[in-house]
Structure 1
Amino acid sequence: MNVQPAKLEVDGEPISLKRRVIPYGQRDGVLQTLEKKERDGIITRVKSSTWATPIVIAIKSDGKTLRICGDYRLTLNPRLRTCAATTMEPEDCMKALHGSTCSSKIDLADAYLQIPLAAIDEVIRGLDGVLAYQDDVTVFGATKAEHDDRLLKLLERFSQKNVSIAASKCMFSSPELELLGFTIDATGYRPDSSHLRPLTELQSPSDQNQHRSIMGGLQYYSRSI
């Protein structure tokens, strides 16, 4: 793929923010994660820099793996040239999956490090029964045989493009699929009950921000009311 590097606005003085204290229990894990990223060529060790931004530590869904993120809100983000990329509307995804009896959901390993969101469409271009919504890739078919054939072609394409998947986080050959807050199967789609529960158990809003948050959630599921 012809991937264009990110371009930064460099006008003005460099920004250097103080580091944040890393909890003692996470320090070994943070060091190991950073060393692995260095070995993999993702980051480069430097002795000093006029730019500095603190890191944020998050725990991945497995409950133990650390995700290290840079908090670039006050340093990099204001200088970054935006690159517009269109995505499918959620309703278009639902319509594309209508009538499918077998689906797989592919999780890309560290997708944000592998491939720009705009380029995932290039990777899957020409493949039937495959759609991508940001970093979620879904394979579907009217029959299991059709699904399996499409899945094999997608994995072959990933191999050709050197795209890695997180197999332990993928879901293969399921009669229903959880996507974008909806449960989808051969009969159609319906709101995911786990996403509806917070809305049905809401307390009355006490300020404008809470009111806007509630209205946003209700608006998203308004098509199902």
Structure 2
Amino acid sequence: ELKIKEGTQPIFHRAYDMPYALKEKVDLELSKMVKAGILSKVSFSNWASPIVVVPKKNPDELRICVDFKKTLNRVLDSDHCVLPLPEDIFACLSGNEYFTVIDLKADCEKAFKESKQLLSSDKLLVHYNPKLPIYLTCDSSGYGVGAILSHRLNDEDRPIL
């Protein structure tokens, strides 16, 4: 969930210039993202951030990135965390012999959709039944506390929907 600073006015940034030769490919990629449920069409918005189109090694593919640095990034109320320095990451990788670039976008999106479908299916969740006992399972960490209400069916805890 994104938290925007209180009292923020919407920011509308014009689109960056794009080569006309890429327009058809960009439209096709955006249509794919809408069809996959990654993006959704809107008729109007007070907010707008420009996109940056990055060609991939395969000339038929594009990577579409949104540039939030002049819009959303300026008004987010974000938690600050310390990221590792590139030198520290490279030090951990030193001595390794094989490296590769893997584009997992489609696979990650497929796995996310399958996980989402499984998590909301009756294979995992059950409806509340007042005739069955309720079990409370708790979990905690340095970041928070979690709890699940479940019924026990066939010696297996099933979270209540």
Instruction: Flag the 1:26–1:105 CA change in 2: closer, same or farther, 3 A.
Output: closer
Partner of 1:202: none
Instruction: Flag the 1:84–1:16 CA change in 2: closer, same or farther, 3 A.
Output: same
Partner of 2:54: 58
Name the SS of the counterpart of 2:94 in structure 1: helix
- Distance in 2 (CA, whole Å) between partners of 1:40 and 1:83 is 32
- Distance in 2 (CA, whole Å) between partners of 1:26 and 1:13 is 32
The answer to whether residue 91 in structure 2 is matched with residue 91 in structure 1 is yes
Task: Give the residue type in structure 2 aligned to 1:30.
Answer: V
Task: Give the residue type in structure 2 aligned to 1:109.
Answer: L
Question: Max radius of gyration: which structure?
Answer: 2
* TM-score, length basis structure 2: 0.53
Task: Give the residue type in structure 2 aligned to 1:92.
Answer: C
Partner of 1:44: 40
Q: Provide Cα deviations, 1:20-67, integer angstroms capped at 9, x if missing partner.
A: 343221111111100101111111110000101222222112233112
Q: Provide Cα deviations, 1:77-115, integer angstroms capped at 9, x if missing partner.
A: 1123255264453212225x4xxx7x464624239xx59
- Distance in 2 (CA, whole Å) between partners of 1:42 and 1:83 is 27
Instruction: Flag the 1:62–1:13 CA change in 2: closer, same or farther, 3 A.
Output: same
Identity %: 26
- Distance in 2 (CA, whole Å) between partners of 1:27 and 1:13 is 31
Partner of 2:26: 30
Verify the 8 A CA contact 2:50 2:66 in the aligned structure 1.
yes
- Distance in 2 (CA, whole Å) between partners of 1:31 and 1:13 is 29
Partner of 2:132: none
* TM-score, length basis structure 1: 0.40
Q: Which runs of 5+ in 1 are unaligned?
A: 116-158, 164-225
- Counterpart pick for 1:110 among 93, 105, 124: 105
CA-based RMSD:
3.5
Partner of 2:72: 76
Q: Which runs of 5+ in 2 are unaligned?
A: 116-161
